[in-house]
Homo-oligomer: A and B are copies of this chain.
Amino acid sequence: MATIRDVARLAGVSVATVSRVINKIGNVNSETAHQVLKAIEQLQYEPNSVARGLAGKKTGTIALILPDILNPFFPALARAVEDVAHQEGLTVIFGNSDGLGLKERSYIKTLKKKYVDGIIIASNTVNPEDIEHLRKDQVPIVLLDRGLDIPTCPIIRSQNREGAKLAVKHLLSRGCRKIAHIYGPQEMITARERLLGYEDVVEGLDWYSPSLAVPGNFDIEGGRKAIKLLLERQPDIDGVFAGNDLMAIGALKGLHDLGIPVPERIKVCGFDGISLAEITEPELTTIAQPIYEMGALAAKILIREINTGISENTIMKLDVTLIPRKSTWKEGIDVDEA
């Protein structure tokens, strides 16, 4: 592989000049520039990113740390981040943290040593001090989806609480008179907000009781168990709002096991809008987050900070939308009223 020196020699200029033309900075006589370009072409020269990283402190690499790419919510995020990065000529390092603070911190340490230009992470353990350290080392970071409200760092989420309200109101408008909620792990702010949203609308209603909310661990199995528990405690529920689609799918499964017809006897609404929701039977009504957009936005904000050095430490909550499907269907309603 040719080096910058080879190019300089062939073009009859110094390496500094070559560096100037490949980086398009400083002034270079267009004649000389042309010579250099010719030499580059001739030698098939490609600047070495590692050397560049060492000399210039910019590696053209960002990192994306997610809890688990196997969770169907995350691939869309990953795709979005990678798309935007690739478009900007950046490369992305990817890691699974399993939601473990230990692993997250270990990744972050490694990434610093690699001089990554920035980090996007979906984590609920990252705290203000971590951010502080990163900031001191000049490593921009943006929080995605999960993540506390840290005022010193940009964070992208969606309207979880509002979305939850939307879900419950939808169920209400479809005739439900006793709506349960299956919630996710309360250490996740997303799960907490959705529970709050549920409470916001049901708390005033006469049928409401705290025992209508049960945990489901954000996974299919959890949803399945939750619905069974729920039915034991409150056999007359006619609507279920699950804190995410996975649990909603579990609930659907559980109801199917029990021979309870959906949506006739019980209506179910999920949250997230992952593609799985379209393949269940009945298809799942859900509150869709703009998952891809969230990832893309995170990447854009990160890249902007990398390029300008200034960070907009703001928390952005993207809009969610109700996607009515079979699982909340009701006779005589063709168009959604929400």
Q: Could you tell me which A residues sit within 8 Å of B by CB distance? A: 1, 46-51, 53-54, 59-61, 64, 68-70, 72, 74-76, 78-79, 82-83, 86, 91-96, 109-115, 137, 220, 249, 253, 256, 276, 279-281
A96: chain B residues at CB < 8 Å are 79, 82-83, 86
B78-A220 in contact (CB<8A): no
Say yes or no: A72 contacts B72, CB within 8 Å: yes
Set of chain B residues within 8 Å of A74, measured between Cβ atoms: 75
B115 touches A48 (CB 8 A): yes
Q: Judge whether B114 and A49 touch: CB under 8 Å.
A: yes
Q: How many angstroms from the CA of A114 to the CA of B60 in the assembled complex?
A: 9
State how many copies of this chain the complex holds.
2
B75 and A113 contacting across the interface, CB-CB below 8 Å: no
Write out the residue numbers on chain B whose beta carbons fall within 8 Å of the beta carbon of A109. Answer: 46
Q: How far is the CB of A66 from chain B (nearest CB, A)?
A: 10
Q: Provide 5 A-B residue pairs closer than 8 Å at the C-beta atoms, listed in order of the A residue.
A: A46-B109, A46-B113, A60-B114, A64-B94, A276-B279
What CA separation (Å) do A64 and B112 show in the bound complex?
A: 21
What is the CA–CA distance of A18 and B249 in the complex, to the nearest angstrom? 56
Chain B min CB distance to A223 (Å): 11
User: Across the interface, which residues of B come within 8 angstroms of A70, CB to CB?
Assistant: 75-76, 79
Question: Which B residues are in CB contact (< 8 Å) with A281?
Answer: 256, 280-281
Q: What CA separation (Å) do A76 and B69 show in the bound complex?
A: 8
- Shortest Cβ gap from A144 to chain B (Å): 16
- Inside 8 A of A83's CB, which chain B residues have their CB? 96
Q: What residues of B have a CB within 8 angstroms of the CB of A76 in the complex?
A: 70
Q: In the assembled complex, how far is the CB of residue A137 from the closest CB belonging to chain B, in whole angstroms?
A: 7
From B61, B75, B115, B256, A69 is in contact (CB under 8 Å) with B75
Query: A82: nearest residue on chain B (CB-CB)?
Result: B96
Contact A110 B137, CB 8 Å, known A279-B249, A281-B280, A281-B281: no
State whether A50 and B46 are in contact (beta carbons under 8 Å apart), knowing that A72-B72, A276-B276 are contacts in the complex: no
